[in-house]
Each structure stands twice: as structure tokens, then as C-alpha cells.
Structure 1
């Protein structure tokens, strides 16, 4: 009994350390740039699209390097790779802060992309899946709820620093914070290596990357999740111009965006308390179905403002659930052995497309003439996700 209690305490401490690490890592390596971009543009003369493109390039590096990080985590454990990721992130931020031109600024974010692959959700999901086994959904929910607080915590911190320091000094301070806060968490509280898994049961089929990616099921899952990510991120990240197009003031549209973020928390809580005894494709199909309806409503409903905000919150809940559906997708279909390797390949295209999310909605809206038309097109992507989910 004592052994069971001790193990639960140890798991709780490790999950707490991992969750705090997510708050700090997301806040500094992701949200800080979004907050600071206008100040950087004002001080340097670089355009906002160019600054965003540099950041997106780092996210694409994160998607690609995540494949190798997943393999490492499968075989060697999280402590070394996640500690190294925090160190690399600090170095990348120092390069960003000292960048004399846009090229070096971009190089700094490419280095930060390497760090993101080792410390953000995909790496943490691999750790949780191996560590918590059948209890992974609850642990993933706790982790993502913590990660969801990152913007709430760090947006005011970054904004406050920018009122007292220039953007270069701000990113230097953030580099120090990342180093001081996350390196000890990862080094002292995460596993140095993994206890070898017991030999597979004679009836257990062990899946590997090479065999999984040759299946129709994998590609149906990839198509479904990729289409869903395109649909949700393009519309929800463009909710301010979409709602301003429908007559809301900038301030009210900004409130709608903030409440959409709160909806993500609700969606994750709802997801974890629902029963999960259905076939693995059902949660994905359900999430996609809700996305089709809600994105269609965001496109077609003209008002009033309270209704648009409520629809946006519901869409945020779907986006919050989508994070957990994605995190569980590989383990639900192919088990937890080699999860890191398989999930790294699976998640790379999704991470890459979400890197383009901030730009994708506005680009499509410019092409089709309005944000409402863009949202309707993205509802169509949700329909593609719904159909392909059935074959996953």
C-alpha cells in the first residue's frame, strides 16, 4: 500500500514539474513573440509579416525535429533531452535579442524551434503516454490546462517588461527566466531514462513507424487531423477581423478572442470526463462534426454580439478538445510502445500547418473576399475531417 502511495506521489510531483515547465516554455518560446511583435516592428522597421514568418520558420523546424525527439524519448527518457531543449531555447532567445538584422533574427527562431520540439506538448505527451499508460487522458488534460495558462501568465509579464525595457532586453530577460525556471524542473524531476518495458504479450502486436505509415488507417487519421487543424486554427486565430467584419468593435472582438481561449479550457475538461469506451475514430469524428457546425455558424450568423461570442467560445471548446484527441490518437490505435517515434511522424505535418495558422486565415480571406467566406471554406475542411475520421 505504501509503495502504491509513494508511486502516486512521485507521479504527481513529476506531472506537476512537467506542467509548470509547459506554462513557462509556452509562455516564453511561443506567446512572447506574439505579444512583442508590434514593438519589434516599431523599433527595427521590420514588417510584422516578416517577423511572423521568422517565427513560423522556427515552428516548422520544431515539427521536423520532433520526429527525432520522439525516437529519443522512446528509448532514453526525458530528462536529458528536455533539459537540453531548455538550454537551446535560452541560447536561441539570446540570438534573437542580439540580432542585428532580420536574417540573424530568423536564425534565432530556428534555434528556438529545436527547443520547442523538446519541451512543448508533443514531447510532453510522449512522456505522459509512457509514464501514465491507461491514465494518460487525465494527465494530458492537467498538462494542457496548465499550458493553456501560459498566455494568461506571460502576456502581461512580457507587456510589462516592454514598458520598462526595449524588446532586446526583454528577450534577454526571458532567456534567463527560461534557463532558471525550466532547467532545474527538467533535470531534477524528470526520469533520467526509462525502465525497460516488459516483453510484449504473445498476443500483442508491436507496431513500428515503418509498418504504421504503410497503412490506410494512418493516412486517413493524418488527413482527418490535418484538415481539422487547418479549419480550427485558421478561423479561431482570425476571430477578431471576422467579428469586426460583422460589426463588432475591436475591443469587443478582442474580448471574444479571450473568451474563445477560455472555451478551450472548458472543452478539455468536458473531454476528459466523457466515457472513452467507443471506437478510436468516434472522438475525432465527433470533434470534427462540431467543428463543421460551429465554423459554419461563425461564417453565417450576423449577430447579435452575445451570440457570436457564445459561438466563438463553443468553437474554442472544440479546439481545446482537438488538442487532447490528437495527443491520444496514436496510442488509442497503435498502443503505447514506440509512441514517441510514431507520434513524431504523425504530428509533424500538423505542427507545420499550425505554424502557418496565424497567416492562413487572412490569406484565404483576402483571396475569397471576406473572412465570413473563409470561415465557410474552413467548415468544408472540417467536413473532410469528419468523413476521413471514419476510416481512421
Structure 2
């Protein structure tokens, strides 16, 4: 064969690696600037605004609800026009939102900034990146591309906390946010404009692919089982992560232990993705996901029995990290396999909306229950998610995309 014969394949492979590299960087910066920084600056913001920490933390709920509101229209635009303008525009909106956040003088301004952040996250981070990747890559490369992006971004967003803490202590929270806004603007905007395929390229690839429209997907039992599984996992994990530190303090752990133990969630999220890269070619991803969700459920239900045992507590907390780490990868992968890629972003959005509502709502119910009962609630919900996957384990892929 001549070099010309190989050139389209080499070009596609090079572009896939470029997209993975760009999305790894831009997702990291986007999450750090719009999500990870909030816990670090929550206390000084509350002090400056003269309000409660709860009121400041509620800004994340505003962001989540805005994300749910715009997910479906953004998904439709991604399907019809590709991701270049959507992701570039989302990065610009995110930079403006973080800059506005740095200047807030009231809760109303803070909530406006976070409404824009909710829009920007949908347009410029994981879900949009996945929508671009499933169209731009071949089916046999898809999972590895998604794994690579989530591995790198997941690890980087946890490692950056010490740097964020130092920046806030040295320059204050407002200057830190200005730095993050500028960083987001000068990296993500040009990177998305340069690397994300154009509308013409997107449409040319879509014409050669297949997929179910959203209306057709909604008529399939498989869609509702997957929706149940991923909504249940996301809601239970969100409630757990919100309340775990308070729970550990209540049962008698020291502040140092209570604040350090949740790190196990982040560690297992990373390790679970490493493991998945190893077993993905041998074990169907639906089976790996069902196993991870079952482990999450077991960890949640057994945690009240761990008492003050730090090793047992770590194991139970890490189980949630396993479920969370696998879920991020499994959702786009299984949906693309099941319903194809032509309408992938819209189908993904149809599940993203109830998922976002669960992340916003279930923590409130769990907080009302309090003590060990919230863990039982989260464990039972995780079991429901696991059972929803069971009917799919023996099925062949419904669609290769």
C-alpha cells in the first residue's frame, strides 16, 4: 500500500488525539474555574457578602438547574451543527460568568453568575465534548477517547486543589476568580475554535452514520432502563458527597479524618477509569457498570456499620468513587452503542435533564432525613440503578452507531 492509502486513517487518528488533548485541557480548566473553586472560596464569599454558607452553596443548585433547562436545546444544536460554535461560545460565556462572579456584591448577582455557569458547563465541558467525540471517532476508538479525557481531567481537577488554596490565601478570592476567568478565556476559546470540527465536517461524518431520533429512543425500554440507572447513581452520589463530612463528624470522627476520607472518592474515580481501560476490551461496559453500581450500593448500605473504623469507612466511601468514576464514562459509551451517534447529543440531553434534577433534589431529601438514614436512602436508590441495568446484560448492542 502507498502512503496515500494510509493518509485518511492517519489523519483521523491524529485528529482524534488532538481532540482528546484539547478536551482534556479545556474540561480541566472549565471544571476548575466553574466548579472546583467554589468549595475553596465559599467561606470568604459568605463573609464578604454577609450571608450564610448555605446561601452561597445554593449557587451550585442554580447552576445545576440551569444546566437541566438548557441541556435539550443545546443537544439539538450539537446534533444539527456540530460542536465548534457551541463549545467556543460556551467557553466565552463561562469566562464572562467567572469574571462576573469575581465582582459580586449580592446573592442575586452570585446566582446570575451561576446561571451563566450552568449554561457554560453544558456547552463547553463533558457532555458537549462527548457529543463531538462520538461523531469524530470510529466506534472502536470511542471508549478509549472518552476514557482518556475523563482520566486526565478527573486527575487534574483533584490535583489542583492545593494550588487553588494557595492562590486564594495569597491574592484573595476575587483576584483568584479573575485569574481563572482569564485562563479560561485565553485557553478554551481559541482551543475549541481551532480543534473542534466545523459544521461541514460534522455533517459529512453524520451522513455516513446511523442513529435513533429522540422520539424513537423514548419508545424503547432500553432507554428508560438506562435513564433509571444513571439518574439513580447520580442522585445517590450527589447526596452522599454533600453530607458525608457532616455524617462522619456526627458519628465521632475527628475533623481531620472527616475531611480527608472523601479523598477516597476521587482516588477511586481515577483508579476505576484505569481499571476500565484494562478490562474494556474483555468485559462489556454494561456489565462493568452494573458491577460498579452494585459496589456503590453496598458501600452506602454498609457505611453505618463501619462505626469509627477508618479502614472500613475508607472502603465504603471508596465504593462510591468506583460507581461515580465508571458512570461518567459508561453513560456516553452505552448510549452511543445503543442509539447511534446521529442524534447522540439529544439523546444524551434527554437523560442529562432528569440526572441534573436528581443531583439537585435527592441531596435535599437526604439532608432532611439526616444521620444514617440518608445512607440507607442513597444505598436503596443505588440498588434501583443496578437492577435497571440487569435486563441489559445479556443483550447485544442495539446500535453500533
Find the counterpart in structure 2 of residue 172 from structure 1: 178
CA distance in 2, matches of 1:41, 1:247: 27
In structure 2, runs of 5+ residues without a counterpart are: 393-401
2:133 aligned partner = 128
TM-score, normalization: structure 2?
0.88
Q: What corresponds to 2:198 in structure 1?
A: 192
Deviation digits for residues 5-44 of structure 1 (CA, Å, limit 9, x no counterpart): 3432222122101111111001101111121111101111
* Alpha-carbon distance in 2 for matches of 1:165, 1:334: 49
Point out the more displaced range, 117-126 or 242-251. 242-251
Tell me whether 1:146 sits opposite 2:172 in the alignment: no
- Pairwise mapping of residues 50-69 of structure 1 onto structure 2 (< 5 A)? 50-69=55-74
- Mapped to 2, the partners of 1:128 and 1:171 lie a distance apart of 30
1:222 alignment counterpart: 227
Which deviations, in whole Å up to 9, do the C-alpha atoms of 1:36-90 show, x marking residues without a partner?
Answer: 1111011111211111112211221122212222222222222211111111111
Contact kept? 1:92, 1:108, Cα under 8 Å: yes
Distance 2:70 2:106 in 1: 25
Match of 2:399 in 1: none
How far, CA to CA, are the matches of 2:168 and 2:283 in structure 1?
Answer: 49
The RMSD of aligned alpha carbons is 2.3
Structure 1 spans left out of the alignment, 5+ residues: none
Per-residue deviation, 1:376: 1.5
> Aligned-pair distance for 1:313?
2.1
In the alignment, which residue of structure 1 is the partner of 2:43? 38
Residue aligning to 1:137: 143
Alignment length (residue pairs): 384
Q: Does 1:267 align with 2:276?
A: no
Are 1:389 and 2:389 matched, yes or no? yes
1:200 to 1:143, Cα distance in 2 relative to 1, 3 A? closer
Residue of 292, 307, 323 corresponding to 2:297 = 292
- Between stretches 114-123 and 230-239, larger displacement belongs to 230-239
Q: 1:348 aligns with which of 342, 347, 353?
A: 353
Q: How far, CA to CA, are the matches of 1:198 and 1:190 in structure 2?
A: 15
Q: TM-score, normalised by structure 1?
A: 0.90
Q: Residues 105-124 of structure 1: matches in 2 within 5 Å? A: 105-124=110-129
How far did residue 186 of structure 1 move?
1.0
What is the CA deviation profile of residues 184-225 of structure 1, one whole-angstrom value per residue up to 9, with x for unaligned ones?
A: 211122212214236568xx7x41011212333322221222
Q: Is the 8 A contact 1:296 1:375 kept in 2?
A: yes
Task: Tell me, yes or no, if structure 1 residue 47 matches structure 2 residue 55.
Answer: no
Shift of 1:386: 2.1
Q: Provide the rounded CA distance (Å) in 2 between the counterparts of 1:375 and 1:291.
A: 11
User: Counterparts of 1:199 and 1:166 in 2: how far apart (Å)?
Assistant: 51
Bigger shift: residues 229-238 or 252-261: 229-238
In structure 2, the residue matched to 1:364 is: 366
Question: Structure 2 vs 1, CA of residues 197 and 180 (structure 1 numbering), >3 Å: closer, same or farther?
Answer: closer
Of 182, 185, 188, 2:188 maps to: 182
Partner of 1:231: 236
Distance in 1 separating the partners of 2:280 and 2:101:
45
Q: Which residue of 2 aligns with 1:25?
A: 30
Aligned equivalents of 2:190 and 2:278: distance in 1? 33
Report deviation, 1:276. Answer: 5.6
Does the 8 Å contact 2:206/2:341 carry over to 1?
Answer: no
**1:87 matches 2:89:** no
Distance 1:308-1:104 versus aligned 2 partners, 3 A rule = same
Query: SS of the residue aligned with 1:238?
Result: helix
Secondary structure of 2:51's aligned partner: coil
1:162 aligns with 2:168: yes
| CA deviations over 1:312-349 (Å, ceiling 9, x no partner) | 22331221011112222311211222101111111121
Q: 2:324 aligns with which of 319, 322, 325?
A: 319
- 1:27 and 1:150 in contact (8 A); partners too: no
Deviation at 1:277, TM superposition (A): 6.8
Name the structure 1 match of 2:398: none
Q: Which moved more, 1:225-234 or 1:158-167?
A: 158-167
